[in-house]
Amino acid sequence: MSQKTLTESARAGAAEAPSAASAKRWWILAIVAVAQLMVVLAPRS
């Protein structure tokens, strides 16, 4: 019976597309930064 451990699956996921994951992280960071800016600039009632 073959069972994958957490570290084996993490290595497999990291080996698939490191550049795509990195680009996705930058997009997420940009979206969060813009959302935070909108919250700061929102007019208060």
Q: What angle do CA 20, 26, 7 make, to 5 degrees?
A: 55
HEC-encoded secondary structure of the chain: CCCCCHHHHHHHHHHHCHHHHHHHHHHHHHHHHHHHHHHHHCCCC
- The residue ranges of every structural domain in the chain are 6-41
The pLDDT of residue 9 is: 56
How distant, in Å, are the alpha carbons of 1, 4, 20, 36 from that of 11?
Answer: 20, 11, 15, 33
- Tens digits of per-residue pLDDT, 2-43? 676 666 655 655 555 678 889 999 999 999 999 999 999 998
